[in-house]
Amino acid sequence: MNELLIIADPRLMAERSAWLENLERERRLSEHTLDAYERDSRQFLIFLTGHIGGPATLKDIESLRPADFRSFLAARRKEGSGARSLGRNLAGLRSLLRYLEKKGLVNAAGAGAVRSPKQPKSLPKPLSDKQAINVASDEAQLHEEPWIAARDAAVFTLLYGCGLRIAEALDLTVDSLHAGATTLRITGKGNKTRLVPLLPVVLEAVEKYRSLCPYHLEKGEPLFRGARGGKLQAAIIQRTMQRMRSAFGLPETATPHALRHSFATHLLAGGGDLRTIQELLGHASLSTTQVYTGVDSSRLLEVYDRAHPRA
């Protein structure tokens, strides 16, 4: 923050802070997205300081032309940013400028006239059913401490058995699951809540971890704990999966998130319909689910031919 006080005047800094608070309070963006927008706007202000030769003001923002934003994106690309990062950079700046424009402080036309970088098309790569089942099994866990091995198995089983994002699994509290439960209530992106069926194998994995965990698990506290008793961090699970890739010869695309891809893809292959999978994943758009599951036109035609009354 001290760095920002040097590169932007107090009024601009105050409006930037108000914009970030608005995104969190009104738009309810995820913590990950908020962090990215904070970082993107900070990088832009740092760039702008050198670009205009001094601390940025609202008047400077008002006078920016499309060429100025292109110069920022070119500088970021030179530093190694890819098309996805550049697209997010521009989206964050547009959001900030729209916020300032609504308050009558600037005109956002300059950023709006800049075309977003073309995004590469890439489909997620799920694990095979055998690979996914193995990763989530007790026998495959590599940690020598039994309770930690059981913890890792429970987390992987939740990702594959319920299609959770890793953050959703690690945000579960002790009272999120109880013996005999058949559904799991998940709060996902945008604070949207969904119900996910809870398979017996998932509940069994979690119960095994709870029975071995050396820490007292109080209601309302994080369910999954790190070695020292604090909330389990995603980086730990990601490193665990990295070790499993080496141990079992899994592809580089085998990540914790790939288990969520696998959940969706395997459901679809087993006859699940896209709308149901969309609900289970918590996607706002069906098109997101289609890409997520690697659905191609032939698969859609197959579903159409089987289900449409005039087919």
- Active site positions, annotated: 165, 189, 257, 260, 283, 292
134 and 126 Cβ atoms separated by less than 8 Å = no
* Residue 87 Cα distances to 35, 119, 276, angstroms: 15, 8, 30
Beta-bridge partners for 197: 183
Helix (H, G, I), strand (E, B) or coil at 235: helix
Alpha helices (H) in the chain, listed in sequence order: 2-7, 10-25, 31-52, 58-62, 66-78, 83-102, 109-112, 129-135, 146-162, 166-170, 200-212, 234-248, 256-269, 274-281, 286-292, 297-307
Residue 132 φ/ψ, nearest 5 degrees: -65, -45
215 and 229 Cβ atoms separated by less than 8 Å = yes
DSSP string of 11-31, one letter each residue: HHHHHHHHHHHHHHHTS---H
Cα–Cα distance for residue pair 183/191, rounded to 1 Å: 18
* Residue 287 Cα distances to 151, 165, 276, 293, 294, angstroms: 34, 18, 13, 10, 11
Helix (H, G, I), strand (E, B) or coil at 140: coil
